[in-house]
Amino acid sequence: MKQQTDKQAQKNGTAVLDIVYYTDPLCCWSWAFEPQWRRLRYEYGSQINWRYCMGGLLADWSKYNDPLNAISRPVQMGPLWFEAKHMSGMPIADRIWMEDPPASSYPACIAVKCAALQSAEAEELYLRKLREAVMLHTKNIARQPVLIAVAEEVAQALPGKLDFEQFKKDIQQGAGNEAFREDLKKTSYHQISRFPTLTISRNGAKGIMIVGYRPYKILMQAISIIAPDLTPVRDLTDTADYIRYWNGATDREVAEVAERNERVQNAAPTI
């Protein structure tokens, strides 16, 4: 996968921006944000260093209460997912909240940290595959067998980056628990209660926080303030190459690129 090259470049110190992405595998708005998030990383490549912080959206339903969206029971989550689907255009299988509602997002968060123990590439793809499992295929990612099955898929896609047997051992023995607790502490310390939330900074200086689902232009406005000299390292003229880069994409993710190309072509002068 080409994004592995970008992660290696980050390790070599070529990144300009540092992004901490507070998220949760069960967050519908984070899934809705994938077109913008993928486009950003594709365009700016190794100039961006990012890391994920699992925010722990849902500990369990006995403690969960979202007064803003009037959600305190699983069945009430479905309409919010439907809204995210309608607003973003991303496919979201909201029926899971009627058929097999996840009891918690904590197991999935811990599983992501287990993947991260092995490599950043494994963490990246594992998080994406978890999102696909629940958002597209109505898989209950609160269940350990589902988490392990997703890891097996990732291990096959990333030979040498995720050892499947080690992952199973880690998740069964709670090897990711401490890293997840640290993520929860960081989320609480920065008073982050909505996902996705991104903090964008440069050279350790005070940066900008972007809270919630936002269009791509908001990301560009933030970057123009923090790093006005930053320019894309890839263009978006080849939609097919974009799909190959990510080893597949949803229609909405492709549209994020196609719409940009259409605007550029329409703006070009005719001779």
Q: What is the mean pLDDT of each run of 10 residues along the chain (271 residues)?
A: 43 76 98 98 96 97 93 97 97 97 98 98 98 98 98 97 98 98 98 96 92 96 95 92 96 89 40 26
For residue 268, what pLDDT is reported? 36
Is the full-model pTM beyond 0.95?
no
For residue 3, what pLDDT is reported? 44
Spatial distance between the Cα atoms of 144 and 111, rounded to a whole number of angstroms: 9
Which runs of E-coded beta strand occur in 123-196?
none
| Domains of the chain in sequence order | 3-267 (3.40.30.10)
Residue 40 contacts residue 73 (beta carbons within 8 Å) = no
Q: Is 141 helix (H, G, I), strand (E, B) or coil?
A: coil
Residue 22 contacts residue 200 (beta carbons within 8 Å) = no
Closest CA to 117 of 158, 160, 167: 167
Q: Can the peptide bond before residue 228 be classed as cis, meaning omega within 30 degrees of 0? A: no
- Supply 41's token pair: 């990383």
Three-state SS sequence of 63-85: CCCECCCCECCHHHHHHHHHHHH
Spatial distance between the Cα atoms of 202 and 218, rounded to a whole number of angstroms: 17
For residue 264, what pLDDT is reported? 39
Report how far apart, in Å, the C-alpha atoms of 146 and of each of 107, 108, 215 are: 10, 9, 32
Residue 30 contacts residue 24 (beta carbons within 8 Å) = yes
For residue 260, what pLDDT is reported? 65
